Amino acid sequence: MKIHLTSIFVDDQEKARQFYTDVLGFVVKHDIPMGEHRWLTVVASEDPDGVELLLEPSDHPAVGPFKDALVDDGIPAAQFAVDDVHAEHERLRGLGVRFTQEPLSMGPVTTAVLDDTCGNLVQIAATAE
């Protein structure tokens, strides 16, 4: 068994597509119209057959309070691996990304937390090898 697809709830699929591709660097895997929404997934550019992230609409009534509670408590909805948190932080800062946690080293792991502009906090992390 392996993870094939996971999702993150987003306030606006098009805004999320732009942020996750143009800013974070993922690429669109699927973009299939489904009524008023889309089956919209992205993957890592270096792993096009890897795990897909579904940019899921936040329409369900339970999603808003759930997302708000996570953000209020500073809890990321997702975590993405990067090679160098400090370098990625600087790159993303240069693109106007807002961070809620600056790079923080915790033993063998360094993390930072950013606002995805779609109602979520996302953590980037790197492990020292």
Q: What pLDDT, on the 0 to 100 scale, is given for residue 128? A: 84
CATH fold of 68-129 reads: 2,3-Dihydroxybiphenyl 1,2-Dioxygenase; domain 1 (3.10.180)
Q: What is the greatest pairwise CA distance in the chain?
A: 47
For the residues 77-94, what does the mean pLDDT come to?
A: 98
Residues of the chain with CATH 3.10.180.10: 1-59, 68-129
Q: Is the pLDDT of residue 27 over 90?
A: yes
Entry pTM: 0.95
pLDDT at position 129 over 80: no
CATH code that applies to domain 1-59 = 3.10.180.10
